[in-house]
Amino acid sequence: MSAKLKTLYAREILNSRAIPTIEAVAILEDGSTTYEALELIDNDPNRHLGKGVLTAISHINTEIAQKLIGVDYGSLAEIDETLIKLDGTPNKSRLGANAVIAVSMSMAKAIAISTKMPLYRYVAAIAQNNQPLFIPAPLFNMINGGKHGAGNLDFQEFHVIPNMRHSYSAALETGATIYQTIKKILIRRGAIHSVGDEGGFAPNLFTNLDALEVLSEAIKEQNHQVGSDVELGLDVAANTIYKDGRYVIKDRSSPLETMEFIDYLKDLNTQYHLRILEDPLAEDDWKGWTTITSTLGATLTVVGDDLLVTNPERVKKGIAEKACNSILIKPNQIGTITETIAVTNQARAAGWKIVVSHRSGDTNDPFIADFAVGVGAEYAKFGAPDRGERVAKYNRLLSIETELKTT
């Protein structure tokens, strides 16, 4: 799986939030070509309201390209190690973590093309995933709250999770049908039915229970059973509701202590049969995380995102503290594909489930869908079945499902 780079360059494009991002182009000596788009912000106040990416583009087009072009690398790991050493900082702040991941992802795709392997199989190979490949269960973010919505709902994401007992394609159809039914319910109620950052609706509902009731109603209208045919999930994004050591939500008239908030979440689980509970507590509330996982972890998946940020040291502590039983994986949080795979395998070795996630500001590139299949993720979180940058990833999983059936 060696690779010799002929050309590497980058240009500025827009992501789904109308914010500039990088498109990196890698061409190998054998002509294999790939394009990779990644969100990057360089904080120049004179361009795009401070969201321009010209500094990172310059790093790719000059320093990184000069280092990589013409060298015959034996593996993606060697390329990524070169990028890490070239940057020379613990957090890739010199070149920019997003510039580094853009190049790493481009090279992964180019090598896969060069070796005539589907990208998901190439990812599986470098992840040393020898298990039969499968399609992860989709987490459809049907209602966007918190920072992703209109600001009136506390929790950031309200998920619908169709059962995968039949096939991914059947689950996708179920999700799409429920999505359309949610829209009809919101219209029927006279509620706003515009969409948020991730394609889910951002209605003028006012409590978390309101949102869960809308989802439950939509599921039942399609003759599905909540908790068996279709399950629910939440991304609480608890950092955003954690004020002065307590949790502030509209469902309660006064702030809640950690144990009171855990009891509230336990009640939600009893009532709505949750499958996923992401970031249920603030990232530094380690005792609370351990408590909620020991209490609910046997029946649902407690996912660490802000708690872990795809960081091996945070993951190590999370494992030691038994703080959660699942990790949210975002390649851009750590900076290279091989580092991301290492963290994924670290979590897997601890018996954790893997949730591979998109970004709120994303592009139409479906790389992350192949990555999710390659590392054997149990869940894929790509937003709602709406908006092109979200649908591109779900549709890519459809294509992979077909390929897996015929190979």
Binding residue ranges: 148, 156-157, 235, 278, 305, 330, 357-360, 381
CA angle 346, 350, 352 (to 5 degrees): 95
Q: Which single residue is written with the structure tokens 């060696």?
A: 2
Residue among 359, 238, 383 nearest 302 (CA): 238
Q: Count CB atoms within 10 A of the CB of residue 97.
A: 21
H/E stretch holding 320 reads helix 312-321
In order of 4, 85, 117, 125, 351, the CA distances from 7 in angstroms are 10, 21, 21, 25, 41
H/E stretch holding 339 reads helix 337-349
Q: Count CB atoms within 10 A of the CB of residue 310.
A: 23
CA distance 142 to 109: 30
In order of 38, 77, 96, the CA distances from 92 in angstroms are 15, 16, 5
Residue among 367, 381, 389 nearest 122 (CA): 367
Taking a C-beta distance cutoff of 8 angstroms, is the pair 304, 284 a contact? no
Please, where are the H alpha helices in 127-257?
168-188, 208-221
Annotated binding-site ranges for Mg(2+): 235, 278, 305
| Side chain identity, residue 13 | I
| Residue 60 DSSP class | I
CA distance 171 to 177: 10
Q: Are strands 157-162 and 137-144 parallel, antiparallel or unpaired?
A: antiparallel
Residues designated catalytic:
198, 330
